[in-house]
Amino acid sequence: MMLEILFIALVPILGGVIYGFERVLRARMQNRVGPPILQPFYDMYKLLDKVPILINSYHIVFALLHMLTLWIVVAMVVLGFHLLYIIFVHLIATIFLVVAGYSVRSAYSHVGANRELIAMVAYEPILILIAIGFYLVYGSFDTGVIFSSVTKFDQMILLFLAFLLIIPVKLKKSPFDATEAHQEIVGGVEIEYGGVFFEILYMAKWIEYVFIFTLIYLFSANSFILGTILSILVFFVLNLVDNSTARVRIDHLFKLVLGFGLILSLINIIGVVYV
């Protein structure tokens, strides 16, 4: 239990290191020297010197609730909570971000919030089907039971592929980065945040990374080696695709993620039930 508590306490730091590795890898893929691994933490320090602009208190409160709820979600996964509850709380965290976007008058922020909602409608049904798949394969929704079970990854390959469609949406990577779309809506929901207030969303992004990779480990059950291999492969493939593809429109994102994700998930679930 002490290791789990320590891991939960260090989640933001771990997420910052993962994000730092990603920036280094992205730079190498683009034939650049790139920043040091600890650059995200240097960025946090520099943001403290920026002038904080407070538009309204709700804008900051909802961003803080978004970050804290994501942290709670990671804790729930690590401590063995019910997977459906985890998905529900993660949904609440995303809703806090959407409401934060609507709490200001910026058109860019509103567009970003609208797209977050559309993306949420696309991937949430798939997350629920993935949870059902875990129950059918392992006989429990509790992540603690799944982590202690013998891995049955071979029975969940299509569900894992469906999950791979969700990852770039959540981490805002090409081709599914329409919710952020820096070239078009200047970061979306993030646009009106600055200084120490932007640090809240910056840290939330790190925590989201940790949440995604804990779910990848969940697919490997008690096989730490398999979980590590899957995490490394996903990390490299995610950044390779991000650096080699163009962003798709939000309606294309919805059709691709929901369409292919549902098909893969349902085929896997039908196979588990009837094969």
Q: What is the mean pLDDT of each run of 10 residues along the chain (275 residues)?
A: 88 94 90 88 84 80 94 96 96 94 85 89 94 95 95 94 94 82 67 80 93 96 94 94 83 88 93 84
21: in domain:
no
Q: DSSP secondary structure string, 89-151?
A: HHHHHHHHHHHHHHTS--HHHHHHHHHHHHHHHHHHHHHHHHHHHHHHHHS-SBHHHHHTSPP
Rama region for 167: left / alpha / beta (φ>0; ψ in -120 to 50; rest) = alpha
pLDDT digits (tens, 9 = 90+) for 253-270: 888 898 899 999 999 999
237: containing domain: 52-274
Question: 191: which 2 tokens?
Answer: 């646009």
pLDDT given at position 47: 80
Question: 248: which 2 tokens?
Answer: 């798709």
11: in domain:
no
pLDDT digits (tens, 9 = 90+) for 107-147: 888 888 888 999 999 999 999 999 999 999 999 999 999 99
Assessment of whether the complete model's pTM goes beyond 0.85: yes
pLDDT given at position 186: 64
DSSP class of residue 153?
G
Taking a C-beta distance cutoff of 8 angstroms, is the pair 11, 207 a contact? yes
User: What is the separation of C-alpha 206 from the centre of its chain, rounded to a whole number of angstroms?
Assistant: 9
Q: Say how many domains are in the chain.
A: 1
The one-letter code for the residue type at 188 is G
29: in domain:
no
Question: What CA–CA distance (Å, rounded) separates 195 from 202?
Answer: 11
39: in domain:
no
Number of H helices, E strands in the chain: 12, 0
Contacts of residue 270, Cβ cutoff 8 Å, sequence gap at least 6: none
10: in domain:
no
DSSP class of residue 192?
G
230: in domain:
yes
15: in domain:
no
104: in domain:
yes
Rama region for 186: left / alpha / beta (φ>0; ψ in -120 to 50; rest) = left
